[in-house]
A and B are shown apart, each in its own frame.
Chain A
Amino acid sequence: MADFKIKKGFDIKVQGCPEPVIEEMGSPAKFRVHPSEFEGIKPRLKVAAGDTVKRGDVLFENKKNEKMLFRSPCGGTVAAVNLGARRAPVEIVIEPAAQEESVTFSKYTRDSVGQLSRQQVVDHLLNAGLWPLIKQRPFSKIADPSAEPKALFINACNSAPFQANFSLILKGDEEAFQTGINALAKLTEGKVHLCKSAGSDVPEFGSATSHTFSGSHPSGNTSVHINRISPILPHDTVYTVTAQDVILIGKLLLTGELPRTKVVALGGPGVKASARKHYRVALGADLQPLFEQALEEGKELRIVAGNLLWGDVVGADSGLRFYGSEYCVLEEDRSRHLLGWTMPGLLQYSTHPVNLSSLLGRSKLWNLGTNLHGSHRAMVVTGWMDKHQPLNIMTDYLVRACLAHDTDEMIQLGILETDPEDFALAAFVDPHKTDVCGIVKQGLLEIEEEGI
């Protein structure tokens, strides 16, 4: 139990904060599962268009580890399997049947979970298709089931703009959350760390050590928690799970069925003011109806599965993603401004004193769009990227090491405990518009290939 104050960091002032209320969405008319969402696996399809599936039937498995299964969120008919580049499946569309049949799994109680062995928990989660919810550092990928993690981190923080409010999500599901923690505690010889935002009313839970983190973003990022509590040395592994996913795991164990719903926050300047709130959505549900009613009309919008700092761009017709608890909608801002290099800089959001908005627009909430606000230039190592970086990693040099493919220096500078999301603020403030997150991601892939 400890309280950590994170001094470095920055909160972007943006409009569109979701209200802390949950609207129940009805059962969807379609489900969409996206195999392409899972990085680092090779899917082998187990269904074809026209097949009838039960809720919980295997849709595809991982060719690299055939025990890792991915199951159907609903019972019905497979309407289509859409392939992408190199015939990799990107989307499986399922139309639910009126009468749904479910596959059942073993049922446990909160306490009987504690009697299981590590292997039993691993096998159960792999088999039920929820293992991919557990990720690992280094490399920030789906956890290797055979690793021996020295600790497990549960992230219940929300420091990035518009992240779902976990204390809201938790209400009524405390039992499932505790069951999930009990199961996850079996995965590590070390401790389970439950990291909460300072001031949140999430209580203490058994089997886990609670910590609170205060400060601006990225105080809620898992890497910051790891760095402050149990930093990663080469050859260490830790598992990481987000808090809502622990509830999903708990529900699977308690009910013996796949969990049905999760809560997502919908925010951002591109969402109608009345629609900026939390929604309880069926897993895998087609989100098109939600977006149709919630999004501003007549604008070119970008839907991000995640927040405005970190997340993937998704189409308006995609299904609820397996990962993440928030969606953010921004306007594609292609506006051009006269003589931007010398104007007072009042009209565009900035944190640099060279623009007056950094001073005069401080207390205002901005309607931020996706404009790059400048052109790409060669990167200059100035230390500027470190401005909001609480991880002790010399961001500029780490990025440079990645560009130089110098895996030794990357590891020495601490890339192993990071995820590309930790570099979002560095990319945000960079005047050279360097693709910092992409460069770090590439660096991590190189280390993974070459070995530590």
Chain B
Amino acid sequence: MKFLFDFMDKKIAPLFEKGGKFERMYPLFEAGDAFTRTTAEVTGSAPHVRDSIDQKRLMVFVIYALFPALFFGIWNAGHLFNASNGVEGATFLTDILRGSAMVLPIVMVSYIVGGVWEVLFAIVRKHEINEGFLVTGMLFPLVLPPTIPLWQVAVGISFGVVIGKEIFGGVGYNVLNPALTGRAFLFFAYPAQISGDKVWIGSAHTALDNSILGTVAENIDGVTQATPLAVASAAEKGSSAAHALSDAGFSLWNMTVGTIPGCIGSTSAIAIVLGLVFLLVTGIIAWRVVASGVLGVVAIGLLFNFLPLENAFAHLPFYYHLVMGGFLFGIVFMATDPVSCSATNTGKWIYGFMIGALTVLIRVANPAYPEGTMLAILFMNVMAPLIDYFVVQAHIKKRTAYARALNNA
């Protein structure tokens, strides 16, 4: 090991440093070098000692928190495929294999294409390669259906990374969550492959071919199964949405466990809560956003429950909203993105609450989009600086009043 490290430090490093042959590629070298070993850099000025925490570790730990959702998503994709297509002799293992064949290519395309953009911008703009990209590259596939064509994954992550983040200057300067920006782009540009009844479960014909070749038009034979949100919003006026859900085979239990059609990472509330607990224990997550988001869903869900509306969806008990669709995944992993979320503590409460409230409002009141979380988060990303502005102004008023009061005392 020591020999290898000495070789790196003495022979390879000078090539990339100032004046070296590959000077322009320095960000790439720095990323790899700091990935293998922590840096040797010492503090330049006071404070002379620093906490041994850095962005790399924080971001990697967020990815660890996504693993339960990823693994469950892989199994679920394979399981639903095998069950719906009547594959004989399907076992847990073949479910995993089938799921991996569907999901892992999506994850890899997301990382490779997104990574190329990140490195390209880092080299041209001369900024460091930011670990935030690692999280974006994992979040993005988890909010896509498992049958999404790979070229769309590439287009979506490119849009998310370039337009959502890099044109603003990279991680730390962006307004919107890059992964959600990419998803919103796909949602409006290619709605047929990301919404509807046919995209959640691959068919025998399309499972592999579809992903590789993008032969979407052939998806006529695809297995049709609606998501709980689609079922609930299709429930007729005056009927019971809860009944419609149970008629379609959705119970609170299977929506919590996650054995239902949906985006890869967002079906299982249990897997997401596991990730949430990990993030809470490691102190990474902005818990105020999650708490107030859940509060927002409960509050507006209850409000709709009691309003005298004909809309069947409005009367669906509020707790269904917590486990249906992408809300939980969104509020835990997307809304809490430190860059695009509200920065003040008071602001976080307002921001999270509004995401929860808007999610239910869009789901119930807008027939065009059965899923409201994505739009709610993006809208509140845009609003977050405004919320913070008012919180900071209120703070300034308070501290001025405090100073004046003490001075006059």
Give chain A's interface residues, CB within 8 Å of chain B.
Answer: 12, 14, 150, 229-233, 236, 302, 304, 306, 308-313, 328, 330, 332-342, 345, 348-355, 357, 368-383, 392-394, 396-397, 412-414, 420-421, 424-425, 427-433, 435, 437-438
Contacts and interface: CB of A to CB of B under 8 A. Distances in A.
Interface stretch (B47-55, B75-83, B212-220, B266-274): B47-55
A308 B392 contact: no
Interface stretch (B57-65, B146-154, B197-205): B57-65
B407 A230 contact: yes
A437 B55 contact: no
B399 interface: yes
Nearest to A417: B403
Given A354-B61, A383-B344, A392-B402, A335 B40 contact: yes
Main secondary structure of the interface of B (DSSP, over half): loop
A263 to B, nearest CB: 22
Contacts of B282: 353-354
- B: interface residue count bin: 35 or more
Interface stretch (B170-178, B229-237, B371-379): B170-178
Contact of A413 (B46, B55, B396, B403): B396
B19 interface: no
A374 B281 contact: no
Given A377-B55, A427-B50, 17 more contacts: A233-B404, A309-B47, A311-B46, A312-B46, A334-B42, A339-B35, A340-B56, A341-B57, A350-B53, A351-B51, A353-B282, A375-B128, A377-B54, A378-B169, A383-B345, A396-B343, A433-B50
Nearest to A392: B399
A375 B338 contact: no
Contacts of A382: 286, 338, 343
B56 A308 contact: no
Contact of B399 (A309, A338, A414): A414
Given A394-B392, A396-B343, A429-B53, A373 B48 contact: no
With a 10 A CB-CB cut-off, give which of A12, A229, A231 has the most chain B CB atoms: A231
A437 B41 contact: no
A308 B54 contact: no
Contact of B30 (A352, A357, A369, A375): A375
Contacts of B173: 378
A428 B49 contact: yes
A162 to B, nearest CB: 12
B43 A424 contact: no
Given A340-B37, A354-B282, A309 B48 contact: yes
Contact of B49 (A330, A335, A413): A330
Given A332-B42, A338-B37, A354-B284, A377 B50 contact: no
Q: Which of B47, B173, B284 has the largest number of chain A CB atoms within 10 A?
A: B47
B339 interface: yes
Contacts of B47: 308-310, 424-425, 427-428, 437
Given A342-B60, A345-B57, A373 B172 contact: no
Interface in B330-368: 338-339, 343-345
A333 B49 CA distance: 10
Contact of A431 (B54, B344, B400): B54
